[in-house]
Chain A
Amino acid sequence: MKVTYFPGCTLKNKARDLDEYARKSAEALGITLEEPETWQCCGGVFTTANDEVATKLSSVRLLKAAAEAGQSLVTVCSACHNVVKQTNYAMANDSAFADRVNRYMAEDAPYTGETKVYHYLELLRDVVGFENLAKAVKKPLTGKKIGAYYGCLLLRPGKVMGMDDAENPRIIEDLIRALGGEVVIYARRNECCGGYVSAESPALAKKNSNLIAENAASAGAELLVTACPLCKYNLEKNGSSVPVVYFTELLAEALGLKEDAND
Chain B
Amino acid sequence: MTNEQLKQEILRISNVNVTKCMKCGKCTASCPAYDEMEYHPHQFVSMVNNGDIQPLLNSDSIYRCLSCFACMERCPRGVEPAKLVEAVRLMAVRKQGANRMKAEDVPCMLDENTPGQLLVSAFRKYSK
CB distance from A181 to the nearest CB of B (A): 25
Are A156 and B72 touching (Cβ within 8 A)?
yes
**Most B CB atoms within 10 A — which of A9, A48, A207?**
A48
A229 and B117 within 8 A (CB) = yes
A167 pairs with B117, CB closer than 8 A: no
The residue in A52, A156, A230 that gathers the most chain B C-beta atoms within 10 A of its C-beta is: A156
Q: Which residue, of B105, B113, B121, has the highest number of chain A Cβ atoms within 10 A?
A: B121
Interface of A (DSSP majority class) = loop
| Distance between Cα atoms of A57 and B90 in the complex (Å) | 18
Considering only residues 161-178 of chain A, those with a C-beta below 8 Å from chain B are 166-167
What is the CB-to-nearest-CB distance from A19 to chain B, in angstroms, rounded to a whole number? 12
Chain A 165-198, CB-CB to B under 8 Å as 1, else 0, gives 0110000000000000000000000011011111
**Cβ-defined contact, B101 with A233, below 8 A:** no
A45 and B121 contact, CB distance less than 8 A: yes
- Please, how many angstroms separate the alpha-carbon atoms of A43 and B117 in the complex? 8
Contact A200 B100 (CB under 8 A): yes
Find B113's partner among A8, A158, A207, A236 (CB 8 Å cutoff): A236
Interface majority SS (helix, strand, loop, mixed), chain B: helix
- Contact status of A233 and B120, CB under 8 A, knowing A48-B86, A197-B64: no
Q: With A156-B69, A197-B66 in contact, do A47 and B86 touch (Cβ < 8 Å)?
A: yes
- Rounded to whole angstroms, the CA-CA distance of A48 and B14 in the bound complex is 7
Residues of chain A with a CB closer than 8 A to B100's CB:
200
> Could you tell me if B86 and A43 are in contact, using CB atoms closer than 8 angstroms?
no
Residue A201 CB within 8 A of the other chain: yes
Is B87 within 8 A of A49, CB to CB? yes
A208 interface residue (CB < 8 Å to B):
yes
Query: What residues of B have a CB within 8 angstroms of the CB of A14 in the complex?
Result: 113-116
Assuming the contacts A194-B66, A200-B126, A237-B111, asked whether A9 and B13 have C-beta atoms less than 8 A apart, the reply is no
Q: Are B116 and A10 in contact (CB under 8 A)?
A: yes
Minimum C-beta distance from B51 to chain A (A):
19
Name which residue of chain A comes closest to B69, CB basis.
A156
Q: Is A77 an interface residue (CB 8 A)?
A: yes
The answer to whether the Cβ of A36 comes within 8 Å of any Cβ in the partner chain is: no
Question: Which residues of A from 215 to 255 have beta carbons under 8 Å from B?
Answer: 229-230, 233, 236-237
- Closest CB in chain A relative to B56 CB, distance in Å: 15
Set B32, B82, B83: member contacting A208, Cβ < 8 A: B32
CB distance B115 to A10 under 8 Å? Answer: yes
B80 cross-chain contacts in A, Cβ below 8 A: 48
B68 & A152 in contact (Cβ 8 Å cutoff): yes
User: Please, which residues of chain B bring their CB within 8 A of the CB of A158?
Assistant: 73
Least Cβ distance of A86 to chain B in Å? 10
Nearest 4 CB-CB pairs, A to B? Answer: A44-B121, A192-B68, A199-B122, A196-B121
A-B contact sample (18 more), CB < 8 A, given A14-B113, A167-B73: A9-B120, A15-B115, A41-B116, A45-B125, A48-B67, A48-B87, A49-B83, A49-B87, A55-B124, A79-B121, A156-B69, A157-B73, A192-B68, A194-B32, A196-B118, A197-B66, A201-B64, A230-B117
Binding site for A on B (CB under 8 A): 12-15, 32-33, 35-36, 63-64, 66-70, 72-74, 80, 82-83, 86-87, 90, 100-101, 105, 109, 111, 113-122, 124-126
